[in-house]
C-alpha cells in the first residue's frame, strides 16, 4: 500500500511540473486553452426525468422522482427538493462503496445550494393539499466515469432531468373534498415542473502561480491545482451561489474576473440545454402522434375487414338461391320458363315471409352482382321478339282460314280451267283484312238461317 502511494505521489510531482510548464505557454495537456470548455453531450432516457451528460471523459447520469409526503410545519404550502449523489468504484479507484465520502457530500451541497437558494424550481406549485400533502422531488446523481470537474457535469445533468420530468396530475374528491386522487398518465397528461431559470455551475482551477487559472479542469489538473472555486450563475448574469473550497486564497479582483467569465459560459451552456430539451420534447410528441395514429388505423382497418366479411357471408347466403333465377335464359325457352319461375318465386316468397322477423332493410344483395341496365335491355329485346312472333302467328292463322273458306267456291265455279293454287295465291295477294272477315260473317249468317228454318 505504501509503495503504491509513493508511486502515485511520484507521478503527481512529475505531472505537476509538466502541467505548469505547459500552462505558462497557454496550452493545456489535452490541447485546450485555459478558458475553453470540453465537448458537452446531453442525452435523455426513455422515461421522463432521466438524463445522461458527458463532458469530455466525465460521464454522469441523473434521475428525478417524486412522491407525496407531508410538508414541513414552517412551510405547509411548499414542496421539497433534495439531491443525492452516488460514487461507484467503477468511476474512480479512489471511491469506496457504502457511505458517501467528503467530496460526494460537497458535490451534493453545491448543486443543492444553487437550485434551492436561487429558487429556480417553484416549490409552491408542488403543493396538493395545504398542510397535508405536497410533492417531494428527489434528484439522484450517479457518477459513471470521473474525468474531472464532476460539479459542472452533475449540475447540467440535474437541470436536464428536471426540465424533462413530468409529475402525475392530482385532483381533490370525496364527500368533504379532502381526498387526493392521483391520475395515471393514460387518463390525464402528466404536468412538468415550473423552472424559473437555470443556475449553471462553472468551476475554476487555480495553481501556485496566481497568473495561472483554468476553466473546466480535468482529473490530472485537479491533482496539481492548489485551489478551486465554483460560481453558479444564470443566463441573465445573476449570481446564485459561490463555493470556494480549501487551499490558497484568491483576491477580489480575480473573483470578479471569474464571475465575468462564468456569465459568458452560463449563457452558452443554457442554450445547449434548452436545445437538447426542445428536441427531446418534439420527438416525444411525434412518438405519441405516431402511436395514436397507428392504433386508430388498426382499429378502423380491423372493423372494416370484419364488416366486409359479414357482408360477403350474408350476401352469399341470401343470394345463393336467387341468383339462378336472375341468370339470362335461352330465347326459345324464355317464355316457357316464365310460368315455372313465377311459381317458384311465389313459393319461396311465402316461405321467406313466414320465417322473416324484423323490418324492411335498405340493403340490396344484388347491387354488386347484377347489372340492371343490361337485364332491362335484354328483357325489352326479348319482349319485342315474342310480340312480333305472336303477330306473325296470328296473321298465318287468319290467312289459312281465308284459304280454307275460298277453295270450295273456286272449285265449284270452274274446276277444269282454273288452277286452284294460282287462283288462291292471286286472291290472297289482293285481299285485305276486311275481305278475310266477310266470308266468315256470311258463313255465320247462313248457319243462323239454317238453324232458324229447322
DSSP summary character for residue 87: E
Residue whose entry in the numeric block shows the C-alpha cell 479507484: 93
- d(CA 206, CA 105) in angstroms, rounded, equals 22
User: What does the pLDDT look like over 57-115, one tens digit per residue?
Assistant: 999 999 999 999 999 999 999 999 999 998 888 887 777 777 777 888 889 999 999 99
Cell numbers representing residue 259 in the block? 464571475
Per DSSP, the three-state class of 134 is strand
- CA distances 389 to 200, 338, 393, 394, Å, are 105, 17, 6, 9
Q: Is residue 219 part of a domain?
A: yes
DSSP summary character for residue 46: S
High-pLDDT (> 70) share of the chain, %: 60
- CB proximity list for 201: less than 8 A, separation 6 or greater: 110, 111, 114, 151, 152, 155, 230, 231, 232
Tell me what the pLDDT averaged over the chain comes to. 74
Pick the more confident residue, 404 or 153.
153
- Element counts in the chain: helices (H) and strands (E): 10, 14
Cβ neighbour number for residue 37 with a 10 Å cutoff: 16
Of 304, 321, 306, residue with least CA distance to 365 = 321
Residue 306 CB-density burial (10 A; 0-12 exposed, 13-18 middle, 19+ buried): exposed
User: What does the pLDDT look like over 8-66, one tens digit per residue?
Assistant: 444 557 777 777 777 788 888 888 998 999 999 999 988 889 999 999 999 999 999 99
Q: For residues 221 and 175, is the Cβ–Cβ distance under 8 A?
A: no
The full 3-state SS of 275-335, as one line of letters, equals: HHHHHHHHHHHHHHHHHHHHHHHHHHHHHHHHHHHHHHHHHHHHCCCCHHHHCCCCCCCHH
Please name every residue paired with 243 in a beta bridge, in sequence order, or none if there are none: 230
User: What does the pLDDT look like over 268-316, one tens digit per residue?
Assistant: 999 999 999 999 999 888 877 765 555 555 555 555 555 566 566 655 5
The structural domain count of the chain equals 1
Q: For residues 120 and 199, is the Cβ–Cβ distance under 8 A?
A: yes
High-pLDDT (> 90) share of the chain, %: 33
Q: Is residue 234 part of a domain?
A: yes
Q: How confident is the model at residue 336 (pLDDT cuts 50, 70, 90)?
A: very low
Domain extent at residue 179? 11-294
Q: Cα-Cα-Cα-Cα dihedral of 136, 141, 142, 146, to 10°?
A: -170
Q: Is residue 177 part of a domain?
A: yes
How much is the pLDDT for 102?
80
Rounded mean pLDDT of 220-229? 86
How much is the pLDDT for 428?
52
How much is the pLDDT for 227?
87
- d(CA 192, CA 165) in angstroms, rounded, equals 6
Pick the more confident residue, 7 or 42.
42
Task: Say whether pLDDT at 244 is over 80.
Answer: yes
Q: Is residue 352 part of a domain?
A: no
| H or E element at residue 230 | strand 227-233
Of 151, 115, 146, residue with least CA distance to 230 = 151
Q: Is residue 255 part of a domain?
A: yes
- CB proximity list for 308: less than 8 A, separation 6 or greater: none
Cβ neighbour number for residue 155 with a 10 Å cutoff: 29
Q: Which of 170-179, 390-399, 441-450 has the lowest mean pLDDT?
A: 390-399
Q: Is residue 415 part of a domain?
A: no
CATH of the domain at 289: 3.30.230.70
- d(CA 388, CA 446) in angstroms, rounded, equals 35
- d(CA 402, CA 433) in angstroms, rounded, equals 10
Q: Which of 142-146, 332-336, 357-361 has the lowest mean pLDDT?
A: 332-336
Q: Is residue 450 part of a domain?
A: no
- CA distances 364 to 358, 376, 400, Å, are 16, 17, 51
Pick the more confident residue, 191 or 344.
191
Q: Is residue 312 part of a domain?
A: no
Mode of pairing for the β-strands spanning 58-69 and 133-145:
antiparallel
- CA distances 349 to 50, 296, 340, Å, are 72, 43, 14
How much is the pLDDT for 370?
53
Task: Say whether pLDDT at 139 is over 60.
Answer: yes
| H or E element at residue 109 | helix 102-116
CA 274 to mean position of chain CA atoms? 26
Amino acid at each position: 500500500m505504501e509503495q503504491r502511494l509513493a508511486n502515485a505521489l511520484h507521478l503527481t510531482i512529475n505531472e505537476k511540473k509538466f502541467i505548469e510548464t505547459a500552462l505558462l505557454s497557454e496550452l493545456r495537456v489535452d490541447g485546450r486553452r485555459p478558458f475553453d470548455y470540453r465537448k458537452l453531450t446531453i442525452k435523455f432516457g426513455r422515461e421522463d426525468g432521466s438524463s445522461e451528460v458527458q463532458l469530455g471523459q466525465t460521464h454522469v447520469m441523473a434521475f428525478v422522482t417524486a412522491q407525496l409526503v407531508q410538508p414541513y410545519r414552517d412551510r405547509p404550502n411548499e414542496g421539497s427538493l433534495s439531491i443525492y449523489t452516488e460514487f461507484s468504484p467503477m468511476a474512480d479507484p479512489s471511491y469506496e462503496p457504502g457511505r458517501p465520502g467528503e467530496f460526494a457530500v460537497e458535490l451534493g451541497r453545491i448543486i443543492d445550494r444553487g437550485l434551492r437558494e436561487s429558487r429556480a424550481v417553484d416549490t409552491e406549485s408542488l403543493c396538493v393539499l395545504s398542510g397535508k400533502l405536497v410533492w417531494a422531488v428527489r434528484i439522484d446523481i450517479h457518477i459513471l466515469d470521473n474525468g474531472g470537474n464532476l460539479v459542472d457535469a452533475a449540475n447540467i445533468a440535474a437541470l436536464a432531468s428536471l426540465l424533462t420530468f413530468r409529475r402525475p396530475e392530482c385532483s381533490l374528491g370525496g364527500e368533504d373534498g379532502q381526498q387526493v386522487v392521483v391520475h395515471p398518465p393514460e387518463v390525464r397528461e402528466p404536468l412538468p415542473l415550473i423552472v424559473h431559470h437555470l443556475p449553471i455551475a462553472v468551476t475554476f482551477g487555480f495553481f501556485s502561480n496566481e497568473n495561472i487559472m483554468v476553466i473546466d479542469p480535468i482529473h490530472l489538473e485537479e491533482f496539481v491545482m492548489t485551489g478551486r472555486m465554483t460560481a453558479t450563475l444564470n443566463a441573465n448574469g445573476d449570481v446564485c451561489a459561490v463555493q470556494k473550497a480549501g487551499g490558497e486564497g484568491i483576491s477580489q479582483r480575480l473573483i470578479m474576473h471569474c464571475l465575468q467569465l462564468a456569465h459568458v459560459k452560463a449563457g452558452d451552456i443554457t442554450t445547449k440545454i434548452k436545445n437538447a430539451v426542445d428536441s427531446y420534447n418534439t420527438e416525444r410528441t411525434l412518438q405519441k402522434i405516431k402511436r395514436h395514429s397507428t392504433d386508430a388505423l388498426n382499429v378502423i382497418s380491423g372493423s372494416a375487414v370484419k364488416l366486409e366479411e359479414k357482408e360477403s357471408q350474408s350476401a352469399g347466403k341470401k343470394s345463393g338461391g336467387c341468383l339462378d333465377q336472375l341468370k339470362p335464359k335461352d330465347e326459345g325457352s324464355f317464355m316457357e320458363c316464365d310460368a315455372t319461375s313465377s311459381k317458384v318465386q311465389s313459393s319461396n316468397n311465402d316461405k321467406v315471409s313466414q320465417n322473416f322477423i324484423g323490418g324492411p332493410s335498405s340493403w340490396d344483395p344484388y347491387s354488386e352482382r347484377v347489372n340492371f341496365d343490361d337485364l332491362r335491355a335484354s328483357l325489352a329485346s326479348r319482349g319485342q321478339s315474342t310480340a312480333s312472333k305472336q303477330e306473325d302467328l296470328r296473321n298465318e292463322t287468319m290467312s289459312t282460314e281465308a284459304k280454307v273458306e275460298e277453295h270450295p267456291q273456286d272449285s265449284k265455279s270452274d274446276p277444269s280451267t282454273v288452277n286452284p293454287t294460282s287462283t288462291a295465291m292471286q286472291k290472297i295477294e289482293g285481299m285485305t283484312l276486311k275481305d278475310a272477315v266477310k266470308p266468315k260473317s256470311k258463313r255465320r249468317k247462313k248457319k243462323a238461317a239454317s238453324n232458324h228454318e229447322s
